[in-house]
Amino acid sequence: MDWHLLGLSFITVFLSELGDKSQLAAIALSGRSQSPRAVFFGTAGALLLTSFLGALAGGAVSELLPTRLLKAIAAVGFAILAIRLLFFNNEE
């Protein structure tokens, strides 16, 4: 097992999920329910499933396309999102 990759993926997902709308939904659900344990297992299971599907999809795509091309596609995608957020933010 690649422990460096394990730690890096844990830290990345952990930091990106802090304050996320899914965390806020879990807070709201556990605040209204009598069983916060059920909310914990439900939200943890959902995060595990989505992460698993993302890892499977990433593995499948990496078999079809070279890593350099995937990194370029991701970089262009993030750049487009950044430009949209900076210059085309339609606040009303």
Q: Could you give the CA distance from residue 48 to residue 36 in angstroms, rounded to a whole number?
A: 18
Q: Does a structural domain hold residue 77?
A: no
DSSP secondary structure code for residue 19 in this structure: T
Q: Which domain holds residue 41?
A: 3-65
30-88 pLDDT tens trace: 888 888 899 999 988 998 999 899 899 988 988 999 989 988 998 999 999 889 888 88
70 belongs to a structural domain: no
**Dihedral class, residue 20 (left if φ above 0, else alpha if ψ from -120 to 50, else beta):** beta
Q: What is the count of structural domains for the chain?
A: 1
On whether residue 17 sits in a domain, the answer given is yes
Residue 75, in any domain of the structure: no
Is the pTM higher than 0.85? The answer reads no
Is the separation of the CB atoms in 21 and 43 below 8 Å?
Answer: no
Q: Is residue 23 part of a domain?
A: yes
Average pLDDT over residues 13-23: 80
Question: Is 11 among the domain residues?
Answer: yes
Per the domain annotation, does 61 fall within a domain?
yes
